[in-house]
Chains A and B, each alone.
Chain A
Amino acid sequence: DIQMTQSPSSLSASVGDRVTITCRASQDIDNYLAWFQQKPGKAPKSLIYAASSLQSGVPSKFSGSGSGTDFTLTISNLQPEDFATYYCQQYYSHPLTFGPGTKVDIK
């Protein structure tokens, strides 16, 4: 199985900040990496696929980069609605696996 790790596990930020979350795969997954946002009590929302492509309707304040084993999600101009937990996920090979999540909360 491909193991996904994320750092940090949590971070505190202020409205207007730019934050970056890192995701690492235990082996090369090319660019088969997705990012999801989850708010408490809600279903995950798909943000990014293919490491850097925005899902339809997702604002451009979200951006992704990386290839191989190291990936990043950047959120610009953090707004109150962006405070949530973010997960990465590889779909390069089965079983599909998720990172443990990064919780972004208000400083």
Chain B
Amino acid sequence: QVQLQESGPGLVKPSQTLSLTCTVSGDSISSGAYYWTWIRQPPGKGLEWIGYIYYTGFTYYNPSLQSRLTISVDTSKKLFSLRLTSVTAADTAVYYCARAWDYDNNGYYSFDSWGRGTLVTVSS
């Protein structure tokens, strides 16, 4: 059974860069059936899809974050990463990594496994 674990600083200063890593265990990150995903949730609010990456490095980003966002993958280390630049207090959230699964091999991916999440606070 796949497990995902987020890691990274819990506090980032305004205007700086938020960097998180998600380590994947129990399954291959190089499987063609999955996209590896970042989702966030501001305190007390709903869920926002940030973006995801295929094992080849192909990405889809949320246009609302695209200008500040980079998602990368390291298949040799079985991890993928999030980098968000020029952060503000609005980027304070619990950040989740998740696996999106192409259950029918038809190019549509539904989330099936989630990490526990990590709270990132943007504050000076």
Chain A residues engaging chain B, CB cutoff 8 angstroms: 32, 34, 36, 42-46, 49-50, 53, 55-56, 87, 89, 91-92, 94-101
Contacts and interface: CB of A to CB of B under 8 A. Distances in A.
Interface stretch (B22-30, B78-86, B110-118): B110-118
Contacts, number: 58
A49 B112 contact: yes
Best-buried of A45, A94, A99 by chain B (most CB within 10 Å): A94
Nearest to B63: A95
A34 B47 CA distance: 13
A15 B116 CA distance: 28
A44 B104 CA distance: 22
Contacts of A50: 103-104, 110
Interface of B: 46-49, 60, 62-64, 96, 100-101, 103-104, 108-117
A99 B45 CA distance: 11
A87 B46 contact: yes
Given A44-B47, A49-B103, A95-B63, A34 B114 contact: no
Nearest to B113: A46
A53 B110 CA distance: 11
A40 to B, nearest CB: 10
14 contacts: A32-B108, A34-B110, A36-B47, A36-B111, A43-B114, A43-B117, A45-B114, A89-B111, A94-B60, A95-B63, A95-B64, A96-B49, A96-B62, A98-B47
Contacts of B111: 34, 36, 44, 46, 89
B114 A98 contact: no
A43 B60 contact: no
A95 B65 CA distance: 11
Contact of A98 (B49, B109, B115, B117): B49
Given A98-B46, A98-B47, A98-B48, A46 B63 contact: no
B114 A46 contact: yes
